[in-house]
Structures are given as C-alpha cells and as structure tokens.
Structure 1
Amino acid sequence: MDILGWVLIIALFVIGMAGAIFPILPAAVAVYGAFFVYGWFFGFESFNWFFWTIQTLIVVALFVSDYAVSAWGVKRFGGSRPSIIGSTIGIIIGPFVIPGIGLIIGPFLGAFIGEMISGSDVQRSAKASLGAVVGLFTSSVITVILQLVMIILFFVWIAMF
C-alpha cells in the first residue's frame, strides 16, 4: 500500500506541474490533493495547522495570480476589459479547438477578438493579443515556481516530522 500511496502522490505532483503548462489541468488542486493522499495513506499527524495554512495561502495565490497575471499582460500591452475576457475564454477553449498550439493561439485570438469588439484598430488589437501571450507565459512561470515551493515544503515537512 505504501507504493500505491507514493505512486498516487507523485502522479498528482506530475499532473500539477503539467497543469502549469496546460491550464486545462487542475494544477494547484492536484498538488494540494497529493497532501490529502499522503494523509490517507500515511497519516495526517505530520501536518499541523501551520502547514495547511501555508499551503492553502499558496493555492489561493496561485488562483489569484493565474487571472491577475494574465490580465496584467493584456492591460500592460494596452488591452481593454473585453480583450481580457476574450483572452480568458481563449485559454479555456483554445486547447480543445486546436490541440497543441491552441493553448497559445486561443488567448491570442480571444484577446484580439475582444479588442476588436471594443472598437480598437488591428494594431492595438494585435498588441493586446501579444500581451495575452506574455501574460500566459508569465503566469505559467509563476505557477511552476509556487507549485515547486509547495512540493518542496511538503517533502521538507514530512522529513522533519
């Protein structure tokens, strides 16, 4: 049973890290879920309120940063609210419509269409679209870093207790 527990934990960590690259996967939730799997297989005694508070705050920061950093990218490149909404829709739909490159094309087109709907010209719409892609990549980097912090903290915590 120990082997099964560790296989599930590692699988959830891998899914979480893959979710940093493919936003359709439940990145932070998978990493957070691995802590519960550890608890069910090996006991929750190692985790106290401080561990759960830190991990929960990181998960909240991940959710906030996913949206805020993507929106920041669009705004920083001159986009409006409709382009932020379009970019968000594109992040969700893009990978399904165009597997592989849809992750990049989706937010790009979504921001472009949103900016065009708001009455902007093609040049400004293209600039906002570039911002959506920059925001997506920046958000992915932040997600990888914060999730690595969560995973490292987990291993340090179980080694100490």
Structure 2
Amino acid sequence: MDIFLLIVGFLLAVTGIIGSILPVLPGPILGWFGLLLLYLTKIVPINYTLLGITLVVAIAVLVLDYVIPSVGTKKFGGTKFGVIGTTIGLILGIFFFPPIGLIIGPFVGAFIGEMIYDSKNPKKALKASYGSFIGFLTGTLLKFVVAVIFTGLYFSIFWEYKASFFNF
C-alpha cells in the first residue's frame, strides 16, 4: 500500500506543477495532496506542522489566484468583463494556440471583454486588459512557485526516507 501511496503522491505533485499553469486544475492543492499521501505512508512519520503550514499556503494561493487578476484589472481601470475575458481567452488560447495562446489568450480575452462592456473606448480597454494580463501572470507565477516548492518538499522528504521504502 505504501508504494501505491508513493506513486499516487508523486503523480499528484507533478500534476500540481502542470495545474499551476492550466486553469482547470488547482495546482498547489494537488501538490499538497501529494505531500499528504507521502505522509500517510507507514515509513514517513506525520509532521502536522508542515502539513498544516503547506495547507494554509495552498488555500491562500487558491484564493489569491482569483483575487489577483481582479485587482490587476481594477487597478488599470477595468471591469468584471475584463476578468471574465481573461479566463475565456486563457482557456481558448490553451486549446487553439498552445503554448503561445497561454500568454496571448488572456490579454486578447480581457481586451475583448472590455470592448464588449464599452466599445467606444478602446484605449481604456487596452489598459484594463494589460492589468488583467499582469494579474493573471502574477497569479500563475505564484501558483507555479508554490507547486514547485511542494514537489521539492515531496522529493526531499522521500529522499530522506528512501532507504526505508525499499527495505520492506
């Protein structure tokens, strides 16, 4: 059972990194579940402090991921249409123009969203889409860093106890 938990935990940790970039997967949360599964093995003693701190960080990043693009859009004079456009542009960009769509999609989506809201002011729409784009990139970078740290923790903890895993 420990080997199964180890493999699934590893897959979750790696999926957490992928999920930090893809908007449909909650990256840091998946990475945290990978850590949890590692600690649920009989070999690794449970460290409630580490699990608690990493859970709080994962939840905070999840919340911030929704707040940061809104703040970026509003700081640059945008509306909710820009935020919604950013998300739609990201999803369409991933599927139709990977990997460049990951970068261009949110910007174009925010611009189109702002133009739908106020078609008479393209300069304002461009400024708001820039803010939404910066917010999206900031949130994605934050998720990516946290997911990589969680995966690094997974490997460092595994490395510490690896001899125990293979000496049944």
For the residues of structure 1 that align with 2:147 and 2:99, how far apart are their CA atoms? 23
Shift of residue 149, structure 1, vs aligned partner: 4.2
C-alpha spacing 1:43/1:37, structure 2 compared with 1 (3 Å): same
Aligned to 1:61: 60
Aligned to 1:71: 70
Q: Which amino acid aligns with 2:84?
A: I
Query: Given the two structures, how large is their TM-score scaled by the length of structure 1?
Result: 0.77
Aligned to 2:164: none
Deviations 1:21-46 (A, max 9, x none): 33334312320221233144x23862
For the residues of structure 2 that align with 1:44 and 1:122, how far apart are their CA atoms? 60
Aligned to 2:14: 14
> Do 1:83 and 1:128's aligned partners in 2 also have CA atoms closer than 8 Å?
yes
Say which one has the larger Rg.
2
- C-alpha RMSD over aligned residues: 2.9
> Do 2:73 and 2:135's aligned partners in 1 also have CA atoms closer than 8 Å?
yes
For the residues of structure 2 that align with 1:38 and 1:74, how far apart are their CA atoms? 39
Aligned to 1:108: 107
> Do 2:108 and 2:129's aligned partners in 1 also have CA atoms closer than 8 Å?
yes
For the residues of structure 2 that align with 1:49 and 1:102, how far apart are their CA atoms? 40
Query: Given the two structures, how large is their TM-score scaled by the length of structure 2?
Result: 0.74
> Do 1:86 and 1:113's aligned partners in 2 also have CA atoms closer than 8 Å?
yes
Aligned to 2:35: 35
Percent identical: 35
Aligned to 2:117: 118
**For structure 2, which runs of at least 5 residues remain unmatched after alignment?**
162-168
For the residues of structure 2 that align with 1:88 and 1:57, how far apart are their CA atoms? 25
Deviations 1:47-68 (A, max 9, x none): 2443332122111111111111
Q: Secondary structure of 2:98's match? A: coil
Deviations 1:104-148 (A, max 9, x none): 232212211221122151111112222222112211221233334
**For structure 1, which runs of at least 5 residues remain unmatched after alignment?**
none
For the residues of structure 1 that align with 2:4 and 2:43, how far apart are their CA atoms? 17
**Matched positions, count:** 159
